Structure 1
Amino acid sequence: MKVVVLGGGVIGVTSAWYLARLGHEVELIDRQPGVAMETSFANAGQVSPGYSTPWAAPGLPVKAIGWMLRKHSPLLIRARLDIAMIRWMGQLLANCTEEAYERNKSRMLRLAEYSRDCLDDLRHETGITYDDGQAGLIQLFRTQAQLDHAADDMRILAAGGVPHELLDQAGVVRNEPGLAHSIHLLKGGLRLPGDQSGDAHLFTRRLADMAAAAGVRFRLGVSIERLLHGPDLIDGVQTSQGVVTGDAYLAATGVHTVKLLQPLGLRLPVYPVKGYSLTIPLTDASRAPTSTVNDETYKVAMTRLGDRIRVGGTAELAGYDLRLRPERRETLALSFGELFGGGDLDRATYWTGLRPNTPDGTPIVGSSGRYRNLWLNTGHGTLGWTMACGSGRLIADLISERRPNIEHEDLALSRYAA
């Protein structure tokens, strides 16, 4: 069977890899001249199944108001007349209940843990390297309230069988010695030993090379204009270089999947959430993360990637705006400077990307429903790198009519039908 994969980010490339491994003819189309040039380019670098948590949580509305009154807010909503944003925010608020939070977090953990295992298998099978590390993650708490709230997440982690450890100040420094000079700012931390790190852009480029060697055809620098369709089948893809046809089609174009599928009568509950990152040259390893940490106060992640430090975070609802705003850079630099400081901020590279977020935090992986040969793999939000291999393997199994290794029905678009 020929499968046409739309999108060359980490989700599209991992999907293409697993499809090719199952014996399909695969053709991947992306408008960029290379793979992983948009949202996958400079993310926070964390493969963090244990940290897979939906935004929609009890108390979020009150927290959000408090955040937005702060100068260095982890959340910013830019006022605009945007019906899609208003609808998405309404769905997000509807998921801010205890019941919805537990349901959403549990299924996110299921997919993320599976994805980490798939990544392990892929690394062992192929020997792929990507400035990767397997030393775990620490969520850092600056306040007693944050430390107290960790008990709720630990209960869900325990139910899902996810290893975790609550750390006092000494435990934090024992695992991340670079925090010794700033430990007075912290109350403790939650360590997730099963989490990992790595450069998603480097991983995607190297996996794309392996996929090409396995027979995947990459059509890069080619714009996807529209999908040609009948009542219940996709007939082809109109591109800037003509029509591409196949037996099955996989939409994995991140935030752009929404506009691609609207003419087909498919409404995806996905909205772009803008994130920023700094890539900082390492100058002092003794004052840098050995692996990866998350500053719970500023919602900023800091990850060691070889001789670089990736600092990523903040969330901004501003449509498809890709302007680099200096105040967002200040927040990233502040968090890193207070906690570590072992890098040259003056030579840091500043970047922004649009994360495809669903209102319940769970990606959309599965059948499109209406069109029998159209499949979806999108909506991963901040966890595209974390969930890439598991999502890619799952969708390849589904397209191939193979029985997946995990429960998957509640990951499909159909969960929004009600």
Structure 2
Amino acid sequence: MNVIVIGAGVVGVSTAWYLRQAGCDVTVVERHAAPAEEASYANAGQISPGYAAPWAAPGVPLKAIKWLLSRHAPLRIRPDHSLFQLSWMARMLANCTPTAYARNKSRMVALAEYSRDELRRLRHTLGLQYEARSLGTLQVLRTAPQLAAARRDADLLAGLGVPHALLGVDELAEVEPALARVAHKLVGALHLPNDETGDCRLFTERLAQHAAAAGVVFRYLTEVEQLVVTQGRIREVLLDDGEVFTPDAVVLAAGCTSRALARELGLSLPIYPVKGYSLTLPLADPQSAPRSTVLDETYKIALTRFDARLRVGGMAELAGYDHALDPRRVATLRMVAGDLFPDATDPQQGQAWTGLRPMTPDGAPLVCGTPLRNLFLNTGHGTLGWTMACGSAHVLADLVLGRAPQIDVSGLSLTRYRRTPQAVPQPQGGSRPAHA
């Protein structure tokens, strides 16, 4: 089976790997010169199934109003003058109910847990080195309402069988010793011991090397000029260099670009570019830095330990396809790093970055077939692209080959956004090679 994967971020590269391992002939088309050049480039560095949760949550609408007046608000909204932004926000607000939150979180956690286990198998099989750590996530809480919300989340996690622990202030230093000196600023924490960390860009680059060695063809600095549809399937993929492919299947894993590509095919994907920021700082005193990831619930900022660096990332802006680096947002990252770990780094140093994360209104990604019989989606992972990448890729490979995925993926289909859900026909592709 010949498969074209559009996009070489962590989701696209992982998809290409699993498809190749299933016996497919795979070509990855990427407009940049290397893998992981967009949302995977300098993200927060978390593999966090325990913290997988939608931004659409009870209480968020009221918080969003308060954040409008806050200098260090985790969410900013700037009108992009499109009806799509308004409709996307309306859909997100509709998911801010306890019932919707519980449903969406359960879908996300199930995929994220499966993905974390797949990542571990992949790391063991290939011996991948990407500054990985397996010491969990510590979500630190500064207020009593945050502690109450963490208790509710703990109940959901218990129901899903996810290991976790609610910690008092006097227990924080047992998990993150460097927090001892700032414990007076906190009221407790939620510890998720099975979460992991690492450099997503490094992981993606090294997995791409293995994929290429296994026979995956990467076409960098190349864009899709046109997807030609006849009789309900993609017959040809035209590239901007003049080459034409006649694929058995096409996988759209192009992050925020996925919506524009799908729109040309008559498909409306509910994916909005949510802008995030990161700051990578060299460690000045490793003993004063976190051992793993500390997530500040107030500012929605993660501080992740690499070997000799601290990655500080997070926040969300709804501002269209704006790639400008706002110094005020970078200042918030510096503030949080200095507030929680004052001696770990020189917060005036470091490399700032911003990227666009493809997010759905309910938080769960689109990992599914489409009404076009040989077009598949693997996109819309929001802030959890790396967390869900390997699991999504395995699921997608199963769907392309007509196999039943190992987890329930009914809630990851595009049909959930239809008023009257309909069955999406699963692509059968063309003839398969003998080794498929």
Normalising by the residue count of structure 1, what TM-score does the alignment of the two structures yield? 0.98
Distance 1:27 1:241 in 2: 15
Distance 1:209 1:20 in 2: 13
2:323 equivalent to 1:334: no
- 1:7-406 to 2 correspondences below 5 Å: 7-242=7-242, 243-341=244-342, 342-368=344-370, 370-406=371-407
Cα deviations across residues 127-179 of structure 1 (Å, max 9, x unaligned)? 11111000000000011111111111011100100000011112111111111
Cα deviations across residues 82-107 of structure 1 (Å, max 9, x unaligned)? 21110100100111111111100001
Structure 1 unmatched ranges of 5 or more? none
Distance 1:344 1:226 in 2: 48
Shift of 1:234: 0.4
Distance 2:115 2:224 in 1: 28
Confirm or deny: 8 A CA contact 1:276 1:314 kept in the other structure: yes
Distance 1:139 1:95 in 2: 23
Task: Give the residue type in structure 1 aligned to 2:255.
Answer: G
Q: How many residues align?
A: 417
Cα deviations across residues 172-225 of structure 1 (Å, max 9, x unaligned)? 111111112211111110000010001110000000000001100000111122
The answer to which of 219-228 and 182-191 deviates more is 219-228
Distance 1:70 1:231 in 2: 53
Aligned to 2:426: none
Distance 2:331 2:68 in 1: 15
Confirm or deny: 8 A CA contact 2:45 2:200 kept in the other structure: yes
User: Secondary structure at the residue paired with 1:264?
Assistant: coil
Confirm or deny: 8 A CA contact 2:337 2:347 kept in the other structure: no
Shift of 1:46: 0.4
Cα deviations across residues 25-74 of structure 1 (Å, max 9, x unaligned)? 00000000000001000000000000001111112110111112111110
Shift of 1:230: 1.4
Task: Give the residue type in structure 2 aligned to 1:114.
Answer: Y
Distance 2:96 2:145 in 1: 19
Distance 2:297 2:110 in 1: 23
Distance 1:361 1:25 in 2: 31
User: Secondary structure at the residue paired with 2:264?
Assistant: helix
User: Secondary structure at the residue paired with 2:225?
Assistant: strand
Distance 2:96 2:298 in 1: 20
Task: Give the residue type in structure 2 aligned to 1:161.
Answer: G
Confirm or deny: 8 A CA contact 1:299 1:313 kept in the other structure: yes
Shift of 1:79: 2.8
Task: Give the residue type in structure 2 aligned to 1:134.
Answer: S
Shift of 1:345: 2.4
Shift of 1:124: 1.2
Cα deviations across residues 362-397 of structure 1 (Å, max 9, x unaligned)? 0000101x1000000000000001000000011001
User: Secondary structure at the residue paired with 2:348?
Assistant: helix
User: Secondary structure at the residue paired with 1:96?
Assistant: coil
Confirm or deny: 8 A CA contact 1:4 1:245 kept in the other structure: no
Shift of 1:344: 2.5
Structure 2 unmatched ranges of 5 or more? 420-436
Confirm or deny: 8 A CA contact 1:46 1:303 kept in the other structure: yes
Confirm or deny: 8 A CA contact 1:377 1:395 kept in the other structure: yes
Confirm or deny: 8 A CA contact 2:31 2:221 kept in the other structure: yes
Distance 1:292 1:136 in 2: 7
The answer to which of 137-146 and 227-236 deviates more is 227-236
Task: Give the residue type in structure 2 aligned to 1:327.
Answer: R
The answer to which of 295-304 and 344-353 deviates more is 344-353
User: Secondary structure at the residue paired with 1:303?
Assistant: strand
Shift of 1:346: 2.7
Which aligned segments of 4 or more residues in structure 1 are displaced greater than 4 angstroms? none
Normalising by the residue count of structure 2, what TM-score does the alignment of the two structures yield? 0.94
Cα deviations across residues 237-295 of structure 1 (Å, max 9, x unaligned)? 22211223311000000010000010111000000000000010011012111000100
User: Secondary structure at the residue paired with 1:352?
Assistant: strand
Distance 1:115 1:96 in 2: 25
Task: Give the residue type in structure 2 aligned to 1:270.
Answer: I
Shift of 1:80: 3.3
Task: Give the residue type in structure 2 aligned to 1:132.
Answer: A
Confirm or deny: 8 A CA contact 1:142 1:185 kept in the other structure: yes
Alignment RMSD (CA, Å) = 0.9
Distance 1:250 1:173 in 2: 45
Distance 1:315 1:375 in 2: 27
Confirm or deny: 8 A CA contact 2:112 2:388 kept in the other structure: yes
Aligned to 2:2: 2
Distance 2:280 2:48 in 1: 19
Distance 2:274 2:126 in 1: 33
